[in-house]
Amino acid sequence: MSTEKSLAKGSAAPGPVPKDHIRLYSMRFCPFAQRTRLVLHAKGIKFETINIHLKEKPEWFFQKNPLGLVPVLETPAGEIIYESSITSEYLDEAYPEKKLLPSSAYAKAQQKMMLEHFSKIVPFFYRIPSAKRNGEDVSGMEAELKEKLGKLNEELVQKKTKFFGGDSITMIDYMMWPHFERTEVYGVQNCLDHTPELKKWMGRMMEDPAVKATMFSKEAHEAFYKSFIDGKPDYDYGL
């Protein structure tokens, strides 16, 4: 788990990336940056972390990523890679030991298509709690989310596998996990009531060493989420 405090506006730019390492620019509670951290841990890659204060970003960070978003990877050669799925795929290719993506072109395409479908689910994790806070009726959104999660559950039923890419964890599992880790915090766990296989998958994921190395407790997630909603995100919560 990353214990480095976040760097904010006015902070000095870090020096060169150490040889035989890769650098990750991250934010401790960001689910998208967690995807990259999961891959780094799963593949046993030596890396250092620099956490970014996303509300008061250091000026130099925009030279790393003009979008100002995490995750970002930087190599000792000064190469920059950003976006969660792109950084994760880069790591799988640049460090070929313990491949997370399948070797078959079709199986690889299947995982990317599944991730595209999952990207349509992610907004519900943010829209539903936001609507609840505004006192809006969320029954329609919850019904839609239940339907989408039901399809993921059916995927596991049809495949008869423990994970989405087979009986061992592959890239697609790590790409989806961070948002499932936060379902209680988002207040959408009731949408999982009729997805027994998906719940079993979640239980198996929680036993994975990379997941254990990157996850936070429900209490930590809730504390950060509250600070985020209050407009004063505590990126260094618990440090």
30 is catalytic: yes
3-state DSSP: the chain helix, strand, coil percent, rounded to 5?
A: 50, 10, 40
Give the pair of three-digit tokens for residue 51. 């956490």
The helix (H) or strand (E) run that includes residue 24 is: strand 22-26
- Quick count: other Cβ atoms within 10 Å of Cβ 153? 19
Q: What are the CA-CA distances from residue 188 to residues 33, 194, 207 (Å)?
A: 21, 13, 22
Angle at CA of residue 192, ends 26 and 108, nearest 5° = 55
Positive or negative, the CA dihedral 203, 207, 211, 213 is positive
Q: Which of 27, 30, 185, 211 is catalytic?
A: 30
**Residues 6 or more apart from 146 whose CB is under 8 A from it?**
191, 193, 194
Q: What positions carry a catalytic annotation?
A: 30
